[in-house]
Structure formats: C-alpha cells, structure tokens
Structure 1
Amino acid sequence: MTYRGRFAPSPTGLLHAGSLVAAVGSWLCARHAGGQWLVRMEDIDPPREVPGSAAAILAALPGFGLVPDAAVMHQSSRLAAYASAFEQLRRADLVFPCWCSRSDLASAGGIHRDGRCMARSDPQRAPAWRIRMAEETISFIDELQGPQQQRLRDGVGDFVIRRVEGFYSYQLACVVDDAWQGITQVVRGSDLLDSTPRQIWLQRCLGLPTPRYLHLPLVLDAEGRKLSKSERAQELDPRNPMPGLRRALRFLGLSPSETAVHPSELLDAALAHFEPHRLTQCSDHRAA
C-alpha cells in the first residue's frame, strides 16, 4: 500500500512552534517513505474554533515549504460519514445514551465504567452518547515511543463519542477520516498518545484498518507547559519562515542546513539525512 501520512490541525489559533513540529515531522516521514502527505482541518468543535484560524493555518503552511499532495479535507464537510459510523455502532448495541453530569461521575474519578447511564433519563434534555467499553487491553508499538498498553475500562471507561450538543467526538471523526483517506501512518504529538488505544478500539468496532503510529515529543514553554494555541505561544511568521523552521528541525533532533535560503531547500537538505528512528524521543522539551 502506498504510504499516506497527514497533518491534522484544529482551528483554535494560529500556527505555532508545537504545531509546526508536528507538521514537519509528519512531512519528513511521508517524504522519506516516498509517499503522500495530506492536510486535514479538524473543524468539528465550533465552540472552540477561533474565527479565521483555519484559513490562517492553511495559508501559512506553504510559506514553510509544506504543500499537501491533495486538496485539504475539512471535517466539517464529513458530518454524514460520522453519523453513518455512529449508526453502525448503535445498531451493534455498542453505544448508549447518557445523562450523567460531572458531579454524577465525581465519585468514580470522572470515569464512566458501568456500560449504561447511571443517571435517570430525562426526555427534556438531549443525552450524550458513550461507547460501551469492554474489559479489553489494547497494546501497540509506537514507532518512536516504543511498546504501549492501556486497559480501556480502567483508563478511560465508556467515553463520549457524540456530545450533548450533537457534535461528534474527535476520537470518532479521527478514525473514520484516517480510514477514508487511506492513512497508513499517523505522525502526531505525544499529547495524543493516550488517545491511540481508544482509536484502535473504535477501528475494531467499525471494522476499519489500524495505521502505524509515531508520536513526536511535545514542545513545552519555559515553565514546562505544553505550548498551546490558546496561550498564543510562539506564533510563527510565514513571511520569515527560516528561523522557525530551523528551530523545528533542531527540536526533532536534526541538524538544519545553515546555507539553505529557501524553506523547500532547507526541508530537502534535512530529508537527505533523515531517519525516522533517530527522531528525538523525549516528550519533555523546551522551545528554543
């Protein structure tokens, strides 16, 4: 199967140092494998979306030499596919409506494990929908972080796949779209390492293929906190891309060319000496 990788930002702010590392890392892995690199805009959570940020991220990427091999896919155009996957799970009796509040779950550490709603149903309120979790242990090999394992009922319980407002969860949309786009390897930040067992479980429930996974280290600020778009930390200027691009390559453990004058030249020079297994593994790195 032809290699297909992807960069999948959420439109919650401008492109910053952490998201550039994920974009560059996924681009390098795709090009190293002689495959395709796609971009997917994960815009299915309107309350968190910052107006204009999706367009700004997509406009910034070419300035850093990162041009996808196909048209950008927007998850907001794929709601029918998520509804179809949800109905497949419901027909298989793998999901259930839930009216539990956070206070209802407080005694269980915020994790729902009963396989059924613990609160009284309320016809006046729309429920969330949770996937009924089995006593299943998911194990997989992350191609950078090594062997991983999670007992799903203990670790995450019956997690939500459709929210009260009707929005489909990241977990469901991600697995549906990875399969639809033919993604063969997911390269992303290690903040999503904990999501991978849930996604593998959903893939099994829906009969979808499981790609390989490689989770990159996170870029942290000076206080050791994850750089987030909401903090507007280290926003990048695509009009002056070389400093940010060189920082991203150094962060990934590469030695960027000091003579390259264009982003594409810098990326090509890095690719010539790139080996995925030599990427920086540690997930605790401060932004330079």
Structure 2
Amino acid sequence: MIAIPRQKPVFRFAPSPNGPLHLGHALSALLNRDMADAAEGRLLLRIEDIDLTRCTPEFEAGIHVDLQWLGINWEKPARRQSEHFADYQAALKSLIDRGLAYPSFLTRSEVKARVQVSEAAGTQWPRDPDGSPLYPADDRERSHDEREAMLATGRKHAWRLDMARALETIGEPLVWSETGDGERGAMKADPAAWGDAILSRSDAPSSYHLSVVVDDALQGVTHVVRGLDLFHATAVHRVLQALLGLPVPVYHHHRLVTDADGRKLSKSAGDTGLAELRARGFSAGDIRDLVGL
C-alpha cells in the first residue's frame, strides 16, 4: 500500500496596509498562528493592498514589525495582491464571458440619491447584511447593444455579479463548514441577500470578494480564520468559489475586539495601534492578555 503524505493545513493572516494594526488585528493574527501550530500546519501572510490610494509601503512595513514583535512567524515571501492583478482579471473575464457579470454605470451619488427619494416617499430600500443599499437593477436590465454602446464611450463603470443568474447557474444550495465563535457546523449561505455584488471598480481591478477567493485558492488555504464581521460575506465567497470551480476552505469567524461602547475597533476611527501600545511599554504577552487569549 502506498503511503500518501497528509497535506498540512494552511492558514493565512491577510491585513490591508491602509493603517496601523490594532488589537483586533492582533487577535486574528495570534489565533491564526495558534491554530496553525495546533494543527501542525502552515501560516501565510497576505498583504491585501488592492486599494492603491490608501495602502502605503509604510503601513506594510509596520505590519511586519508588529507581527515580529508579537512573535508571529510566517512563510516567506508574503503575497502582495498588487502584484497579482492578472489573476483577478482572469477570474473576472471568465465570469464576463459566461454572462455572469455586467458593467454597472451608476455612481455612488446616483444610487444614494435614488435611495433617499425612495425612503423619503416611505418605501424602504432593500439593504445587504452590512446595511448598504442594494444596487438598482438598471444596468442589469440593459440590452447587450446598449451596454456595448456605453462601454464604447469610455464611460467609467464597475463590474457586478448578476446574482440571480449566478445562483441559477449553480442550481443547488450553498453551504460552508463553520467552526468559529458564533454558529457552528454546516452554514447555509444566503448570497441573494447581497444583491449584485461588486467584482471590480474603475479605480480598483478587483473587489475584496473576488480577490480573496482567488488568493485563497492559489495559495492552497484550507482554513480561513477572520472576524465575525465577515461571517455573512462568506455567502458571496461561496458563490464565486462555485462559479470558478475553487476549493472551499473551513471557516472560523472569531469574536471581535470592541471598545467600552461595544464598537468594533477600526483603523478609520483611529483606534490605538499596536505600535503605540508598544511605545507605551506594553509587551507581546500583555497584548495576548488584552485580547483575551
């Protein structure tokens, strides 16, 4: 009998270099490292720098310093999304060629204005699980010729997934295996709740949703450990995985680190970063205590 080597589990920590890491990132990074060690697996670092306007080399360097200070080691080199735009464009093209994605031309301000008019008239606009308004059906309902004419003018546009057509193409319920801090077991995905999810924008060659599923597949990631704020977004990831024929990792959505008011820590809110805590004399062990590990 031939002995087949057991594949090592693969975990990844995937921060965006658009601000300093805070305690919430520390929890996620440490959990990934701890779970990889417990499973005798591998730990990867992925720099999610799709947003070229907000992500900087300085913040990326800070990520490396913070992780090393926490005692976290990862396989070198780290994957940088900005070096792999061709991978995401290839995935997007396959969806476009199959009629599963369409160009969307409405600007954010146009969508916002339409939502305001609707809700001022007493009609609640449908929203996704994050509370954002679903994209109107205008562009999805355009004819092929009308779309081509608009594209020929060079008008700015994004590409969106035709969710209804995608689900019809898949033809079966989607689930994922969950081991995190909320519900556990086989989770039923509800992709329709997200409407026509965005796949790329005029200022970014890929959305988070598209790039993350492509990266996880190309890197052989078997376990995705991330915050509960991304729990429902897994439904969109499952659709893309099914359409693109990608493997499905096990998901572990962990609790969030919040402030005294119960608000999730955020870079945009200027919450205290790890570098500042380090400068104030905190140790790596202190950080583990602060995040409850």
CA–CA distance in 2 between the matches of 1:213 and 1:115? 35
Query: Does the 8 A contact of 2:176 with 2:189 survive in 1?
Result: no
1:168 to 206, 217, 234: 206
In structure 2, runs of 5+ residues without a counterpart are 1-6, 119-124, 127-132
Amino acid paired to 2:274 = L
- The alignment covers a number of residue pairs equal to 252
CA spacing shift, 1:29–1:249, aligned 2, 3 Å: farther
Q: Point out 4+ residue stretches in structure 1 off by more than 6 angstroms.
A: none
Question: RMSD across aligned C-alpha pairs, in angstroms?
Answer: 2.4
Amino acid paired to 2:191 = L
Amino acid paired to 1:221 = D
Fraction of identical pairs, as percent: 34
Within 5 Å, which residues of 2 pair with 1:124-163? 124-134=154-164, 135=167, 137-144=173-180, 145=182, 146-147=184-185, 148-153=187-192, 155-163=193-201
Q: Which residue of 1 aligns with 2:130?
A: none
Within 5 Å, which residues of 2 pair with 1:1-288? 1-50=7-56, 52-102=58-108, 103-104=110-111, 106=115, 107=118, 108-109=125-126, 110-112=133-135, 114=137, 116-117=139-140, 122=150, 123-134=153-164, 135=167, 137-144=173-180, 145=182, 146-147=184-185, 148-153=187-192, 155-237=193-275, 238=278, 243-249=283-289, 251-252=291-292, 254=293
Return the TM-score normalized by structure 1. Answer: 0.79
How far 1:211 moved relative to its partner? Answer: 0.5
Query: Does the 8 A contact of 2:23 with 2:291 survive in 1?
Result: no
How far 1:17 moved relative to its partner? Answer: 0.7
CA–CA distance in 1 between the matches of 2:288 and 2:202? 38
| Range 35-44 or range 233-242, more displaced | 233-242
Return the TM-score normalized by structure 2. Answer: 0.78
CA–CA distance in 1 between the matches of 2:69 and 2:201? 36
